Structure 1
Amino acid sequence: MLACAALAAGMAPAAMARMATVPVPVPATAPAPISEALPARLVCHDDVFVPYVMLNQGHIEGLNVDILREAATRLGIAIEFRVMPWRRLENELAQPQGSVDCAFAMSRTSPREQYLEFGKVPLQPTEYALFVRQPEGKAATIAKLDDLAGKVIGVRAGFRLPDAIAIGAAQGRWTLAEVPTDTANFQKLALRRIDAVLADSSVGLYTLKQLKLADIRRLAPPLARFDTYIVFRKNAASPALAAAFDRELKRMRQDGTFARISATYLGVPTLE
């Protein structure tokens, strides 16, 4: 599967404020409430990944940005977003003394779990699919992955490859062509410089809509489906922080906030 910043701050929900007005005795041995362990400010990084993270005249916005900003506001955290190329971001997160303490949206892997705190509630489910040229009214020349034998598949640099794609490339069944952006990938596909594009389904559909490209379709079923999360560098405070975001992300799904924000960017809710 690219710096500017946008700051958003807010107060905790009204229900929590009302609860705070009622004094409740707390035993000396009781653990501190989660809210007391949360930072007042959080800086979180991701690469540009339209429509989840976008740069608009120096302002960072997007589907995941809006979702995390709302969750942070509900928690009373001032959250700042910064853009960092994906490979550099992964390297920074893996360094014991790296400069990044929060990132999104990361898939869960055993190596990452050694140094990153993952929550239990996904930020987004993700589908990876192939997009190919198919002029209207004409029979498909590429209908499945095996039809790409001897051809070139465009992938975004740093993209997590589905096993079927990675194994086939290692065996020489097809060639992978890396580019820095999804936009460049789909433009190359339209110009017939590559034979297919591997992309996040929502990203692909959004990009095709923005570029007004016709005669390109998504193959079904998707090659892979997995969840992605907001992650935090592991430390004494990270379990409480992950749990707090879990709680608010779950509430946002239940109260319709997820669907509302998703429809703003995609016209339909995100995958569930």
Structure 2
Amino acid sequence: MLADRLRSIARIALCFALPALASAAPAPAASDALPASLVCHDDLFAPYFMQNDGRIEGLNVDVLREAASRIGIAIAFRATPWRRLESELAKPGGTVDCAFAMSRTARREQYLEFGKVALQPTEYALFVRQAEATPPTVRLEDMAGKVIGVRAGFRLPDEIVAGAASGRWSLAEVPTDAVNFQKLALHRVDAVLADSYVGLYTLRQLKLPGIVRVAPPLTRFDTYLVFRKSGHSAALAAAFDRAFTRMRQDGTFARLTSSYLGPDALTP
């Protein structure tokens, strides 16, 4: 008798529980869960990623902090030289899980998760001494027999690589854009290849007159926030894509870009 009564009570309790169980949202799969925190790496690249008195700051830092805040995860940043960063990302069991801002290549897509929304558009242009820029302009063909300063470890336009390989010009690698422009001012290189806006920003900071950007740029491409492929990398890339899209729609990208690069360099 007692056993029958207990079974009856259990059936009644189950009937009340079933609607609640049916309406509850399914728990996310482990592969879709976002981590509570994220550490992202980049090389020093003013004004996108800078280190002042031990503090990490810059345009991309501000963009990523805002995006992470909207997603609901904590984000920290580490400065890592570009070549070491590339090596760690490609190495199985490497120590870097997140990096920026990287161009999309078939090789990188084998081991990195790219989003669909770019972090920044990038254009590479030549910079020359103004006295040698007129008249009327400088073309890449005019670099025959000359030395072009480039930043070590960075992706170079195909025509620059091909010209160097054929001996039409030579490349001088240095670790920073600032060193490149100082060498250009001292006539130790004949031109500098750099990100257009990074170059203009660096020249203003160094107060180096008499150096101009050659138009049009040699190449344009997008750069992305990337994640080492893992159980949650696809979910992370999708979450940042949604945040970047909203930030472009509500004017946050334009406001942040303008604060560093001026109103004429707004991110499209």
Distance 1:182 1:144 in 2: 21
- Where in structure 2 are the equivalents of 1:241-252 lying within 5 Å? 241-252=236-247
Matched residue, 1:87: 83
Matched residue, 2:201: 206
Q: Secondary structure of the equivalent of 1:235?
A: coil
**Residues 219-253 of structure 1, C-alpha deviation per residue, up to 9 Å, x if partnerless?**
11111111000000101111111000000001101
TM superposition outliers: structure 1 runs of 4+ over 2 Å: 24-34, 138-142, 268-272
> In proportion to residue count, which structure has more helix?
2
Distance 2:29 2:260 in 1: 35
1:140 deviates by: 3.9
TM-score, reference length from structure 2: 0.87
1:139 deviates by: 2.6
Matched residue, 2:33: 37
Matched residue, 1:111: 107
Matched residue, 2:233: 238
Q: Secondary structure of the equivalent of 1:236?
A: coil
Q: Secondary structure of the equivalent of 1:247?
A: helix
Distance 1:194 1:141 in 2: 21
Among 214, 222, 230, the residue aligned to 1:227: 222
Distance 2:160 2:248 in 1: 32
5+ residue gaps, structure 1, are: 1-23
Q: Which has the larger radius of gyration?
A: 2
Percent identical across equivalent pairs?
Answer: 70
Distance 2:34 2:46 in 1: 29
Matched residue, 2:17: none
Matched residue, 1:188: 183
How many residues in Structure 1 have an aligned counterpart in Structure 2? 248
Aligned AA (1:101): D
Matched residue, 1:168: 163
RMSD: 2.2
Q: Contact between 1:108 and 1:118, CA under 8 Å: does it hold in 2?
A: yes
Distance change (3 Å), C-alpha of 1:37 and 1:149? same
Distance 1:56 1:148 in 2: 36
5+ residue gaps, structure 2, are: 1-19
Aligned AA (2:59): L
Aligned AA (1:120): K
**Residues 133-174 of structure 1, C-alpha deviation per residue, up to 9 Å, x if partnerless?**
1149x8348610000100000001111110000000000000
Distance change (3 Å), C-alpha of 1:149 and 1:33? same
Distance change (3 Å), C-alpha of 1:55 and 1:27? same
Matched residue, 1:48: 44
Distance 2:84 2:260 in 1: 27
Q: Secondary structure of the equivalent of 1:52?
A: coil
**Residues 76-132 of structure 1, C-alpha deviation per residue, up to 9 Å, x if partnerless?**
111000010000000000011000000000100001001100000000000000001
TM-score, reference length from structure 1: 0.86
